[in-house]
Amino acid sequence: MNPLELVCPAGTPAALKAAVDSGADAVYLGFRDSTNARNFPGLNFTRPELDQGIAYAHGKNCKIFLAINTFPKAGDGEAWHRAVDDGASAGVDAVILADIGLLDYATKKYPDLRRHLSVQASASNPDAIGFYQEAFDVKRVVLPRVLSIAEIAALNKEISVETEVFVFGGLCVMAEGRCALSSYVTGQSPNTNGACSPACSVNYEETNDGKMISKLGDFTINSFAADEPAGYPTLCKGRFVANGKTSYLFEDPVSLNTALILPELAAAGVTGLKIEGRQRGKAYIAEVVTSFRKAVDSIDQDEMVISDLNKVAEGQRNTAGAYSKTWR
């Protein structure tokens, strides 16, 4: 089996330190602008903060991956090129890219800079991955959250690049890099602006009967009873009426958690285990990374060390997602 690399999120310098100190093998982060897919106020890194973060991580034998994983608008790629330039100059261990033009830029200007293919590129078959490898010499591909373990194992037998899969955190039901729902409602897209359901468009209203209504722009996304926790309003996790029934039509508010199937993922040939959550605080990062560090380190033992992470999971519930595909 390949050695497993625990790849952990950081939205702030404090979260970076928490991830490193809790046992991350690599930390992924982004600049404080629209070049990364978590472009929210108060998150991400300035150039000096990146320099400091690299020094701290490298001092503890941890890698830094820079996510430049949104898509520039035609003729307006300066900020994305500058992000690649500054990441290379700072000494990041890899850049995570999705846009073909940006991959071409990085390949030609920095041929020795390690390139990972972002999940935003949504490459999930040998032909697509082979193209990126041949054209841009990508060393690793982050797989979309739509493949079963059997499908990942079969894929790894046909490709020669490393694969990285999501193991904990928020789910996305859309093919990554293709979702436009947020842009229809708020004018901001996770693929170009780096923000899905931005906070400036979110509003909560109490009704006379004690319910809490969550809205995104002018659209009502959900209605919660007085004793029911009110979740964040994203279109894919709203409750809608279809065929006379009100339900979470696209996706339930629930977190991915693969702790129990890590041995199967390892046997399928994956290299990177990616924890989602750059928008989360340092306490969350510390708890989740510590838990997965223990689980990864105990895979070969008689009994794996598995922690209960339900209290930090979305909706206090977890799922194995598409890895199991129990609906088939």
CA angle at 35 for the pair 96 and 86, rounded to the nearest 5°: 70
d(Cα 237, Cα 254) in Å, to the nearest integer? 9
Over residues 47-69, the mean pLDDT reads 98
> Which stretch of 206-215, 223-232, 301-310 has the lowest confidence by average pLDDT?
223-232
Report the chain's mean pLDDT, rounded to a whole number: 92
Over residues 185-208, the mean pLDDT reads 87
Per-residue model confidence (pLDDT) at position 327: 54
Map out the domains of the chain with their CATH numbers: 5-171+254-323 (3.20.20.70), 191-248 (no CATH)
> Which stretch of 77-86, 147-156, 181-190, 270-279 has the lowest confidence by average pLDDT?
181-190
pLDDT per residue as tens digits for the range 202-224: 999 999 888 999 999 998 999 99
- Name the band, by pLDDT with cuts 50, 70 and 90, for residue 98: very high
Which of 170, 165, 111 lies closest to 135 in space, CA to CA?
Answer: 111
d(Cα 66, Cα 321) in Å, to the nearest integer? 26
> Which stretch of 22-31, 149-158, 185-194 has the lowest confidence by average pLDDT?
185-194
State percent of the chain over pLDDT 70.
98
> Which stretch of 76-80, 159-163, 229-233 has the lowest confidence by average pLDDT?
229-233
**Buried b vs exposed e over 35-48: b needs ≥16 C-beta within 10 Å?**
bbbbbeeebbbeee
- Name the band, by pLDDT with cuts 50, 70 and 90, for residue 1: low
pLDDT per residue as tens digits for the range 160-185: 999 999 999 988 766 777 777 888 88
* φ, ψ (nearest 5 deg) of residue 36: -130, 155
- For residues 22 and 291, is the Cβ–Cβ distance under 8 A? no
Per-residue model confidence (pLDDT) at position 170: 84
Per-residue model confidence (pLDDT) at position 235: 84
More confidently predicted of 317 and 178: 317
Per-residue model confidence (pLDDT) at position 105: 98
Per-residue model confidence (pLDDT) at position 326: 63
Per-residue model confidence (pLDDT) at position 240: 86
pTM for this entry: 0.93
Residues 6+ apart with CB under 8 A from 24: 6, 7, 8, 62, 289, 293
Q: Retrieve residue 308's tokens.
A: 């209960």
